[in-house]
Amino acid sequence: MPSEDEPLFSTKNWTWLAVAVLLGALFVFLPPIAAEQDTLYRAFTPLVVIKAHIQKRYVEEISDEELVEGAVRGMLRALDPYSSYLSPKEYPVFVEQMAGGYVGIGVQFDARANRLLVTSPLENSPAYAAGVRAGDEIIEISGSAVKFANILKDSERLRGVEGSVAHFKVRRPPGGETIEFAVRRERIRTRSVSGFRRRADTTWDFMIDPEHRIGYMRISGFWDNTLEDLDAAAAELSSRDVQGLIVDVRFNPGGELSVAGEVVDRFISEGVIVKTRNRREIEDTLFARSENTWPSWPVVVLVNRASASAAEILAGALQDHKRATIVGERTVGKGSVQTVITLEDELSALRLTTAYYYLPSDRLIHRRRDGSNDSDWGIPPDEVVELSEEEIEAVWKSWMESGIIQNSDAGQAQKSILIDRQIQRALEILRDPS
């Protein structure tokens, strides 16, 4: 550890200074504007000086790699909440999430109450086939006890290389029977589309009101496999002569712009879906196509204060085209485009905000940091229906319980989601379209 008498600019710190010099040297190859180069040097000097003070005086050793990563994350936090650095550990997880899948045994967890509980095995997963049940408490993984202090890290140990075997032990209520499992890991396809209730065969029933033939689809994210699942749900509803549709994007954080555009394209056959505009005012416009358009069912889209990004594009585009009635609360106002830039090591990436979304009517979804559009951001619903915190908690509980897959011998019926006041209003609109 450096002593108090060590020079501020030691050999290691000269390395950092060289980094700053190299950054400045990049501008030599650009049009030689001396003022800009001088500004760059002065801008990066504090970084080198602060690092030198840390190296000399900080109470513990810290590596250059940790400091560089911290500096990078700090720079990005200064931009907006959505730009971020994806480390070599985070980047593969991000790629898996965007693809709508991962390699593992296929279980959903609840890590609360100091325990690692299985809330549900995923449909058609290795865990389900092996007999893992909702309510099982995982107490041991690969011979090591699950500890609360490392509970999330412990759960990650169930993921791994495709084809490898995960060994774990569960405690099963009500009697506390201990069961050991050896489950082969597979690529798990997560679903972002769910219905009103689970059937006995674990598939979703998308008909919420059989009498009035009203369908219901909840979209939890816009990933690579979302459109396929939506098309399958629409085909099923069409075969049952559906006469109206509720699309629920409450608590939907967004996803891929291209997927959101394809979903909007299912509802409209022509016109603008969304526009993006960067800092140079260069515009890119996504248009609807006539093929693959679903029947013109009456539609209600449910949104709330946690509907963001791609969910706002769906709701806003259908609102602008007068293709749907929007019910709920004003949305987040996250209308910015993040471009993922793979860095030179090809192991990490930069997720950088590069443009804003604009709706067909040229409305800006995004809520600007400078407050310049504080009265006009997000998607304002056509009909405002606000839920209390207690009602929201009940909605979450019903979603979780309806998603639980009971094994065939568990002897419990599948549950429907709660018809809360926002869903109830959507049903009223579709039952009486006049």
pLDDT confidence band for 295 (50 / 70 / 90): very high
Q: Which of 155-164, 252-261, 264-273, 359-368 has the lowest mean pLDDT?
A: 155-164
Helices and strands of the chain, counted as H and E runs: 11, 22
| pLDDT reported for residue 249 | 96
Burial class (CB in 10 A: 0-12, 13-18, 19+), 19: middle
SS3 246: strand
Which residue is listed with tokens 């002569």? 241
Check if 284 is active-site: no
Tens digit of pLDDT for each residue in 87-140? 888 888 788 767 666 888 988 776 655 688 887 787 778 998 898 887 889 999
Q: Which CATH number fits domain 193-431: 3.90.226.10, 3.30.420.40, 3.40.50.880, 3.10.150.10?
A: 3.90.226.10
Q: Are 142 and 180 in contact (CB under 8 A)?
A: no
Q: Are 124 and 130 in contact (CB under 8 A)?
A: no
Q: Which of 35-49, 115-129, 151-165, 215-229 has the lowest mean pLDDT?
A: 35-49
Residue type, 30: L
Check if 63 is active-site: no
pLDDT confidence band for 35 (50 / 70 / 90): low
pLDDT confidence band for 79 (50 / 70 / 90): confident
| pLDDT reported for residue 82 | 83
Residue type, 25: A
Check if 334 is active-site: yes
Tens digit of pLDDT for each residue in 379-430? 999 999 999 999 998 998 898 788 777 665 544 556 799 999 999 999 999 9
Percent of the chain whose pLDDT exceeds 90: 44
Q: Are 264 and 313 in contact (CB under 8 A)?
A: yes
- How far is residue 60's CA from residue 147's CA, in Å, rounded to a whole number? 27
Q: What is the DSSP string of 365-403?
A: -S--TT-TTTTS-S---SEE-PPPHHHHHHHHHHHHHHH
Task: Indicate if the alpha-carbon torsion angle 193, 326, 255, 75 is positive or negative.
Answer: negative
| pLDDT reported for residue 302 | 98
In this predicted structure, the answer to whether residue 300 has a pLDDT above a threshold of 50 is: yes
SS3 34: helix
Average pLDDT over residues 352-369: 90
Residue type, 211: E
| pLDDT reported for residue 133 | 84
- How far is residue 172's CA from residue 306's CA, in Å, rounded to a whole number? 35
Average pLDDT over residues 8-14: 47
Residue (of 108, 129, 128, 130) closest to 118 by Cα position: 108
Q: Where are the domains of the chain?
A: 11-62, 101-189, 193-431
| pLDDT reported for residue 41 | 64
In this predicted structure, the answer to whether residue 265 has a pLDDT above a threshold of 90 is: yes
Q: Which of 220, 320, 336, 348 is catalytic?
A: 320
Which residue is listed with tokens 């000269």? 14
Higher pLDDT, 400 or 324: 324
Q: Which CATH number fits domain 101-189: 2.30.42.10, 2.40.37.10, 1.25.40.20, 3.40.50.300?
A: 2.30.42.10
Q: Are 390 and 418 in contact (CB under 8 A)?
A: no
| pLDDT reported for residue 337 | 86
Q: Which of 125, 194, 220, 309 is catalytic?
A: 309
In this predicted structure, the answer to whether residue 8 has a pLDDT above a threshold of 50 is: no
| pLDDT reported for residue 116 | 85
In this predicted structure, the answer to whether residue 47 has a pLDDT above a threshold of 60 is: yes
β-pairing, 244-248 vs 299-303, is parallel
Residue (of 404, 411, 391) closest to 135 by Cα position: 404
Q: Which of 265, 334, 336, 402 is catalytic?
A: 334
| pLDDT reported for residue 53 | 87
Tens digit of pLDDT for each residue in 154-206? 778 888 888 999 999 999 988 889 999 999 999 887 788 999 998 888 889 99
Mean of the per-residue pLDDT values of the chain: 84
Higher pLDDT, 238 or 409: 238
Angle at 33 between CA 31 and CA 39, to 5 degrees: 125
- How far is residue 163's CA from residue 389's CA, in Å, rounded to a whole number? 44
Angle at 398 between CA 397 and CA 404, to 5 degrees: 95
